[in-house]
Amino acid sequence: MKSKQEKLANSFVQDVPKFGWSRETLLQCAKKLKISTPNLALLFPSFEYDVLKFLIAQNNALVEKNYNSFNNSRLKVRDKIKTILELKFESNAYLKKALPEMLKFLLRPGNILMSVKLLHEIVILLETFRR
């Protein structure tokens, strides 16, 4: 059974291509799912940034599960990284339509530090799998 966070995040991702990656879109999705603003603030305290973090964490868990499901010990580091990136792209296919708006959100001047932190998390993930 999907959690409220999952339902809200999926609804948000579906509405992003139409309305943009914004707090208003998130509030609209919450209203559509009958989630009050205080409950929304509990689910995603930083609103659209926390939705992004939630989607990335969900994706990383799925990639890790898929990566560990086969024997990867014989792969070279280059092949491990290639496999991880392929798994990330496959598991992010549903985000394809929302990607341009997501990137616009990350490239706003106030979000550059957050973007660097997310890149750092990706590097740490790759380092974890490399070993």
- List pLDDT tens digits, range 54-89: 988 888 888 888 888 888 788 888 888 888 888 888
Q: What's the predicted TM-score (pTM) here? A: 0.74
User: If pLDDT is split at 50, 70 and 90, which confidence band does 130 have?
Assistant: low
Query: How many domains is the chain partitioned into structurally?
Result: 1
Is 55 within 8 Å of 105 (Cβ atoms)? Answer: no
Single-letter amino acid, residue 61? A
* pLDDT tens per residue across span 15-46: 999 998 899 999 999 999 999 999 999 999 98
Give the span between the Cα atoms of 63 and 101, in whole angstroms: 23
Q: Which of 24, 27, 53 is nearest to 111 (CA)?
A: 53
Q: Residue 24's domain spans which residues?
A: 4-130
